[in-house]
Structure 1
Amino acid sequence: MTPNLGELSRFWKCPKVSTTSAAISIVLFALHIYRRLYENLFVSVFSSSHMNIMHYIVGHTHYWGAMMLLIAHFPAFSSSDSKTTFSPLEFCHIIGMFLYLYGFIVQHQSLRILAGLRSDRGKDAQKHKMPAGGMFEVVSCPHMMAEVLVYVGILFVLQKHTGWLAVTVWVICNQIQVALMNHKWYQETFKDYPRNRKAIFPGVL
């Protein structure tokens, strides 16, 4: 039996998402996934430490599940919705895409800065250095702040989508927790670490 993605939509009990909102959100999230893949393969320079297998599984499951959640709300994939007419852009779409684009750019720039800290070869590539430049001047983890902006931006595009709201809350909680841990490590490792830097949100946290 072929699974009906519309059933997943009804499982979350979400209000119907317009074709325009669904299409924009799918494209934006797909671009985010492809960019992250590109950065992992060609930009980031990783240390010799190994990732916990459970973190690896959770990460892959998260991206797969989030994309399936978006696809499930696309009218063309629901047996109960036959109309796929695109409606004009709304103000919330513009706001959402602006937040997404800002997060998209900041995350890429931040990851390039981090990669630059390990640009040396040999043992020097494993040495820890204090990041500087870009949004690192105001927060310790701008790439995590940017991740939050990407999800919040898509949430604005989707509007009343309880499933994506749950995903966004999960991402916010996760990124804040990791950012606070990294921020504490920076402060303990670098004695001259700027006191005005926050962990993830400028001037707030």
Structure 2
Amino acid sequence: MDTNIMRHFFIFNSVNIILMSLSFNFLESYLPTLIKRAFLYGKFSVKTPHTIAAKLEVPKRWFRHFYIFCAPLMTITLCLLSYKNLYNVNIPEIVFTLLDTLLGTSRKPLISAEDAFLAVVILNIHCWKRFYESCFINVYSNQKIHVFLYFIGFAHYIGIILCILGESGGFVKDSHAILFLHKVTTVKLVCAFICLWASYEQLKTNFILARLRKNSHGDIVSLEHKIPFDGLFKYIAGPLQLCEAIVYLMLSMILCQASTFHYITLWVISNQVVCAYLSDQWYRKTFTNYPKERKIIIPYIW
């Protein structure tokens, strides 16, 4: 089967999120409640009751399941990648079959051992940090998300691993790869540093949001949404979304020779921009004292 299912999956998600956001922007009053509740969640969720939609929703706090699942899986991937590149062990045939099925039989070893290793190390740090945030920092409200979005989260992280391994040397039949860390270029080390900086800024942003729902003793006293003013919130409505977009843009720079991973970056940026836009619109409609000079996702620009 020579169809790159992963590529089509992330292209579909990107196009879908863009079309849905345009529909909500221009045709929201004409859209059925079932569609609106499937797309909107959190602070901009639709309050209109719908029997079918309610049965297809799960608690938003289940977001933490993504990271409980993906953080250990990313570490297993790092061990597998290191073991293959350092000791040149044989990969089980089932792995080749899986990668051929999901990325196509004509896939090529486009990603060097060094780039794959660097990207997966960064993703390990990022995913374990997200695990810490979602399990120990974030204060979730009682909002719900559509079960489709819930499963998309799992597919996203599985797709990351498949797209990196599927185009890495040693994971394509008749290809070989040896890890030489001194071959990692200065440019890619800078990209890695920017990745980690963005992930750290995301951590600081989550602390800011959590403090809005806690008292001085750290006890949760409210689940209401309030206007944040600290950190990157001084400049934009979507610091979390900006940081996530930067992480994946830098990963795309590190994996610049890849073919499929860039479609994950496209999907992430599309999703994060839409989320930041919706968040900005919600704040402006909800709070009369919301800072008018605050931009959406790019400081001082948009």
TM-score, normalised to structure 2, is 0.63
What displacement does 1:196 show?
1.4
- Please provide the CA RMSD for this pair: 2.0
Q: 2:229 aligns with which of 132, 137, 140?
A: 132
CA distance in structure 2 between the partners assigned to 1:101 and 1:175 by the alignment: 18
1:170-185 aligned at under 5 Å gives the runs 170-185=267-282
Letter in 1 for 2:138: S
Q: 1:2 aligns with which of 87, 90, 94?
A: 94
Matched, 1:157 2:249: no
> Deviations along 1:133-184, whole A, 9 cap, x unmatched?
1101000110110000110111111112221111101110110011100000
Matched, 1:112 2:207: yes
> Contact 1:6 / 1:80 at 8 angstroms: preserved in 2?
no
Matched, 1:26 2:123: no
CA distance in structure 2 between the partners assigned to 1:82 and 1:176 by the alignment: 39
What displacement does 1:75 show?
1.9
For structure 1, the 5+ residue unaligned runs are none
For structure 2, the 5+ residue unaligned runs are 1-92
Partner of 1:198: 295
Identity %: 27
Letter in 2 for 1:192: N
TM-score, normalised to structure 1, is 0.90
Matched, 1:44 2:44: no
Partner of 2:264: 167
> Contact 1:110 / 1:135 at 8 angstroms: preserved in 2?
yes
Are residues 198 and 13 of structure 1, via their aligned partners in 2, closer, same or farther at CA, if it must alter by over 3 Å? Answer: farther
What displacement does 1:10 show?
5.7
> Contact 1:99 / 1:152 at 8 angstroms: preserved in 2?
no
Letter in 2 for 1:36: R
Letter in 2 for 1:188: K
Bigger shift: residues 77-86 or 173-182:
77-86
Q: 1:58 aligns with which of 152, 159, 177?
A: 152
> Contact 2:112 / 2:169 at 8 angstroms: preserved in 1?
yes
